[in-house]
Structure 1
């Protein structure tokens, strides 16, 4: 239960960070590039925080392997969020920025559940 609570707190902070970075970057970079950059930055921080706080891995041992697997998990999240934005912009080309954020929030919540399962079962497996 404590592991799940730590993961949820880190996930919530990552989701908020992703949405804030997306909102700041999208006017200059466009939706897809802003999403990718914001998600990458948050995924790196998320993996590092979960590695230490949720799964108890400290030091450099296995850090490169953990972050490499974390990048694979990131790509799954990127596919979900980018695919959701692409579907939204195809279905509603004039969707508002607020609608983008709502779609990203829903996609990010789905990605977070998958992320937890993959981190626990594959990336940080005992």
Structure 2
């Protein structure tokens, strides 16, 4: 039951944010509270929220930074369309073996190239 609720919570969070019915920050607050009540932990939600804030604050801060960073980059005109990821990925995979060390240099060069274009 808890596994199903966990997957349903992630799916509802993704659906709400991707369909733009809620912002990511509001969905991160509302969705766990709703699913906490559905799981039957209504009286303990406040204590669980405080424990969760202490334990997951760094992860939430990284998610918030990622959202803000990519929103600013998109508004500045630095979108993913400025670099052809698919053709360069196919080229690197065809030219190198599947092990990590031979692929490291081409991937780092492609990253540096993208960084120069932004």
Q: Sort the TM-score into its range (normalised by shorter chain).
A: 0.3 to 0.5
Instruction: State the TM-score, normalized to the length of structure 2.
Output: 0.44
Instruction: State the TM-score, normalized to the length of structure 1.
Output: 0.42
Which of structures 1 and 2 has the bigger CA Rg? 2
